[in-house]
Structure 1
């Protein structure tokens, strides 16, 4: 980063998940062990008749190639009709990580599911790389619905939505107006706009205007053909990570850059994206959601305040539940087996009832 102000604000404009190049290369070879480059525990390693299968697909969305994985349930018959669920990945994540885990687990329950890389991110198209604008992320969710609604065997009248972390916030925004989604769930919802604007845990309220000025300058430089500036592109040592004030940062580093690293997963995003991000809020007009809503978060997550705030403001539906996974932090809901099982237990009941 070019100046001390930018260094000081780096930690709060990130997704809430630490980026770092130090040590990343040592762990990113793990994805090569899976033919589909899936990095989560229990991932499919081959497609077999009569079992849950994975189908890599590519489709167009606003002129861009979108890379996605479709999971079909055991004994899938394209002539039959199945409920389907769209799964939106976290900020900085890719479809091969936690989004894929929950998509596969839901397919095991009999759903056709889809997890796609966001436009400009992962294996999807778009230049410059790692643009992270709310309008694009919301459109990604609409686009997944467009595609999966026409997939053989999908019952369009039974379409659900699951958003994880930042994908949870964008799912709340998408579901406000996209009434194809009959039911909505989130896990460890992260309100990206609030975090970018106010800082994580509302820790940078005093520097909002200064950071907006930086984002505006970055957009101007980009528009003039100059160098594209990025936020969240830090090179941090293990000691610096350990010293971070929030558990989400520390555990996020371990998850994304060690245990579940993937070469297409990165937390950097164009600084100009903040012009859009900082005026966004996942809870704005959330009362337009009038469908069943399940919000899941860890009881020990330092991001829990975002889920609780959104849940309270979701006054448009009476069919809603906030489920706290006892003892879980934000990142632990991504991979710790007992916490994933707890989340799946609630999701299984919820989707069975509402789809």
Structure 2
């Protein structure tokens, strides 16, 4: 089923210019370094609480936050949701926002920094391989399934942006996840291979050669090369072709910045990224599936493509949030509220 969720009122809080943007959610002012509006500042009995945790995954230390619902009782059983963060993001940003909002709806939630990224371990830093990101999701399920109060038979998965693409891949085989949802899904392999909106098809072989050269240099003990790390001025950012990139720079570098968050990734990662596609074998998903995206998102084509290819489930729904761009689903209150309402309805029915 395909439906459209219409705004109750038009929301006009859009970043019109990057010059002079002030911090909307300063991590420095939060004891848990959370970088989103309305974030928890202290744990209060009877309220939604946050619990920083660490666990091992493939020998690496993984840094995560667990959110427990109001009046949490470790002797009771709660439906639980694993939340996978966007590319370049960390658990303190949009993934934390959605994890907290779902905890406010009665769910126990977890979001973790990907291995080699954020506050999690792994060297070199900022490796971004699909196999690692998919294993991160399995690892969150491993850890949270043993957490007091978790009902392992009611485990859901939410992936945001790149975490959405990796969630689709993880859910193909990990049937511990009883239902899957994505918000502003980003198919990392397709974009790294073809360019955003398939705009770089003529440079695929050149970029593969660059990635191969980078791996050879890295293997020989040379400097680790990185991609995606552009130091742009506000004027240069404003001239970028796509909304996702213009608003993404504002979100990650200004309004919701966090020191553990970065766009850069090892160039050698492209050897793995460029042969990956989130929709490959997507028919293995037989669980209920909800995909949410903004109607004005220039990334919407990826959600629509994945939704059409997800033929293995008869319980699927695509919801477009009228007027929202990709990045605006991360923070604009009206759009986030609509997404959370849809997620609450979906997980309430499927978990």
Q: TM-score range by the shorter chain?
A: over 0.9
Checking the alignment, whether the CA contact within 8 Å between 1:28 and 1:263 is kept in structure 2 is no
Q: What is the distance in 1 between the residues matched to 2:94 and 2:25?
A: 18
Checking the alignment, whether the CA contact within 8 Å between 1:182 and 1:354 is kept in structure 2 is yes
Q: What is the distance in 1 between the residues matched to 2:47 and 2:232?
A: 42
1:44-123 aligned at under 5 Å gives the runs: 44-123=40-119
- Is 1:42 the equivalent of 2:38? yes
Match of 2:328 in 1: 332
DSSP-derived class of the 1:51 partner: coil
Q: What is the distance in 1 between the residues matched to 2:179 and 2:288?
A: 5
- Is 1:236 the equivalent of 2:225? no
Offset from partner CA, 1:114-160 (integer Å, 9 cap, x none): 00000000000000000000000000000000000000000000000
Q: What is the distance in 2 between the residues matched to 1:29 and 1:39?
A: 5
Match of 2:9 in 1: none
Q: What is the distance in 2 between the residues matched to 1:184 and 1:171?
A: 8
- Is 1:267 the equivalent of 2:256? no
1:84-163 aligned at under 5 Å gives the runs: 84-163=80-159
Task: List structure 1 runs of 4+ shifted beyond 3 angstroms.
Answer: 26-29
Q: What is the distance in 2 between the residues matched to 1:260 and 1:29?
A: 5
Q: What is the distance in 2 between the residues matched to 1:266 and 1:62?
A: 23
Unaligned runs of 5+ in 1: 1-21
Q: What is the distance in 2 between the residues matched to 1:177 and 1:40?
A: 32
Classify 1:74/1:248 alpha carbon distance in 2 versus 1 (closer, same or farther; 3 Å).
Answer: same
Unaligned runs of 5+ in 2: 1-18
- Is 1:224 the equivalent of 2:220? yes
Match of 2:162 in 1: 166
Q: What is the distance in 2 between the residues matched to 1:96 and 1:353?
A: 28
Match of 1:5 in 2: none
Residue in structure 1 matching 2:350, options 338, 349, 354: 354
Classify 1:196/1:23 alpha carbon distance in 2 versus 1 (closer, same or farther; 3 Å).
Answer: farther
> Deviation at 1:27?
5.5
DSSP-derived class of the 1:99 partner: helix
DSSP-derived class of the 1:132 partner: coil
Classify 1:231/1:28 alpha carbon distance in 2 versus 1 (closer, same or farther; 3 Å).
Answer: farther
Checking the alignment, whether the CA contact within 8 Å between 1:28 and 1:261 is kept in structure 2 is no
Q: What is the distance in 1 between the residues matched to 2:231 and 2:67?
A: 35
Equivalent pairs counted in the alignment come to 333
Task: Compute the TM-score of the two structures, normalised by the length of structure 1.
Answer: 0.92
Match of 1:9 in 2: none
Structure (1 or 2) with the greater helix fraction: 1
Checking the alignment, whether the CA contact within 8 Å between 2:25 and 2:256 is kept in structure 1 is no
Offset from partner CA, 1:296-347 (integer Å, 9 cap, x none): 0000000000000000000000000000000000000000000000101110
Q: What is the distance in 1 between the residues matched to 2:23 and 2:183?
A: 26
DSSP-derived class of the 2:148 partner: coil
